[in-house]
Amino acid sequence: MLKMEDSTISLTSADFEEDRYSRLRLIPWWDQEKLKNSAVMVVGAGAIGNELIKNLALLGIGRIFIFDMDTIEHTNLTRSVLYRAQDVGRYKAEVAAERAMELNPDVKAKAFVSNIIDDVGLGVFAEMDVVLGGLDNREARLAINQSCYKVNRPWIDGAIEALSGFARVFVPGEGACYECTMTEADWMMINKRKSCALLTQEQMAEGKTPTTPTSSSVIAGIQVQEMLKLLHKERGLPTLAGKGFVFNGLTHDSYVVEYQRKPDCMSHDTYDVIKSMPWSVRTMTLGELVGLVKSEQGDRAVVELDREIAASARCTCGREKALFLPVHKLTSDLLACPECGAPMIFDSFHSLNGTEYFLSKTLFEVGIPLMHVVGGRVGIEETIYYEFDGDKEEVFRGC
C-alpha cells in the first residue's frame, strides 16, 4: 500500500516499512504507527529479557530502553537468542540493544548499565508507555513497582523456573500491585538479603534458578501480548491488569489468577501533579534546589527526596568520613573506621530546609539519579512534585 506524503508519491523507506508490517496490520485493532511512537523499558536482559527485546524489535516498537548491569557469560548462551559466543564479557544491555537494531533497523534501542533500584530517575519511568520486567529478584521488582505507581505507568512482570512460569500485569488504579501479591515468604527473603547486605555484599549473589529458552519465550510472549493490548488501550481489549497468567510447563496447564488489592499496601502512592522543570540533577546544587522550591512555594517550603541518604559517618575515635549515598547501599566495609576499624555511626537525611552544611553539593553528588522527581511542600500541605527534565537530552541521547 503506497502512502501519499506531501502530495507526491515516492518510494521512501516508509513504504518498505508497510511491507514489513503488513501481516501485523491485518489484525483489525492493530496500529503500527502507535507502536512506532511507543517507548518501552525492559529491565533485565537475561533469559526473559532476550525474548522480550526480540519481540519488541520484530514488532517495530520505536524506542526500546534496556537496563541490565551484568556481562554475558557462557552459561547465558543457551537461553539468549541475542547473544553469541564472541559476546562473552560484554555488557548484556549493550549487546542486546545492538542486536535489536540489527533485527529491525526501524527501532532505536539504548543500553543502560544501571541499577534499577537507585540509578534510574522517575522521569525516565514517566517517559515510558509500558515497563517490562525480566528479573530474578524481589527488591528490583518492588522498586520498579513503586516507581511505576508514582508516575502512573503500567508494568508487566515475568518469572520463570525450569519449564514453568508466570506473567503478571500491574496498572496503577486497576486492582492489585506487585507488593499486594507479595507473601510472607517473599518479605522474609528480602529482609534476609537486607540484613546480609550489612554483613558481606558477596553473600548476596543471586540464587541460581534453572531456566530454559522455552519457558522464557512462553512467558515473554504473554508479557509482550499484554503490552500490545495496553498500548492499544483505547480499543478496550481485555488485559491481565491486577492478574497473573500461570503456566505449568510439566502439564501445559495454564490459568489466570486475580490478586487481591491490599488497602494498606505501601506502594499505591501516585503523584498527582508533576511539574516539568528545566532543572538538571547533574549540575544543580542542593542549595539552588531549596532556593527554587522556596521561590515557588514560599519560605517555609522544604524539599522532600524519596530516599534516605547517608551524609557522614563518625567513629568513637574521632574520625569522620563523608558518605553521600543511599542508606541501603551501606555495607560494613563502608562503615568500618579507616583509623581504628571500629564500626562507625552514620547520620542521614531525606529532606532539606536550607540549613544543611552540604548545600554546595549537586543532587547527583548525593546519589539522586538523572531525571529524577523531587517533592516540595509547606507543612502538611499537599506535595508538589518537580521533574528534572534538564537531564533529558543526556539520558535519551540517540534514542
- Nearer of residues 337 and 373 to Zn ion, judged by Cβ: 337
> HSE (CB half, 13 Å, CA atoms) of 183?
1
The number of beta carbons lying within 10 Å of the beta carbon of residue 46 is 21
Is 196 among the residues that bind Zn ion (CB under 5 A)?
no
CB 49 within 8 A of CB 68: yes
| 157 is a contact residue toward Zn ion (CB under 5 A) | no
Could you say whether residue 51 binds Zn ion (CB under 5 A)?
no
Is residue 337 at the binding interface for Zn ion, with CB under 5 A as the rule? Answer: yes
- Cβ-in-10-Å burial (0-12, 13-18, 19+) of 198 comes to middle
Nearest to Zn ion of 308, 339 (CB atom): 339
Provide the grid cell at 33: 504507527
To the nearest whole angstrom, how small is the minimum distance from the Cβ of residue 332 to Zn ion? 14
Kindly determine how many residues on this chain lie close enough to bind Zn ion according to the rule CB under 5 A.
12
Q: Does 142 bind Zn ion (CB under 5 A)?
A: no
**Is 146 one of the binding residues for Zn ion (CB under 5 A)?**
no
Please report whether residue 258 would count as binding Zn ion according to CB under 5 A: no
DSSP symbol at 78: G
What string of DSSP letters covers 224-250? Answer: HHHHHHHHTGGG-----BTEEEEEETT
Distance CA 50, CA 107 (A): 16
Give whichever of 229 and 319 is closer to Zn ion, judged by the CB atom. 319
Looking at the Cβ atoms of 296 and 339, the one nearer to Zn ion is: 339
Q: Which of 199, 317, 322, 345 binds Zn ion (CB under 5 A)?
A: 317
R_g (Cα) of the chain, nearest Å: 23
- Report the residue from 42, 57, 177, 220 that binds Zn ion according to the rule CB under 5 A: 177
Identify which of residues 18 and 339 has a Cβ nearer to Zn ion in the complex. Answer: 339
124 binds Zn ion (CB under 5 A): no
Using CB under 5 A as the binding rule, whether residue 319 contacts Zn ion is answered as: yes
Place of cell 500491585: 177
DSSP of 96-164:
HHHHHHHH-TT-EEEEE---TTTSS-HHHHHH-SEEEEE-S-HHHHHHHHHHHHHTT--EEEEEEEBTE
* CB distance 309 to 348 below 8 Å: yes
* Pick 125 or 364: Cβ nearer Zn ion: 125
In angstroms, give the least distance from the CB of 343 to Zn ion: 9
Query: Is 117 an interacting residue with respect to Zn ion (CB under 5 A)?
Result: no
Q: Is 339 in the site for Zn ion (CB under 5 A)?
A: yes
Q: Which of 42, 45, 265, 286 binds Zn ion (CB under 5 A)?
A: 265
Q: Which residues bind Zn ion (CB under 5 A)?
A: 177, 179-180, 265, 267, 315, 317, 319, 337, 339-340, 342
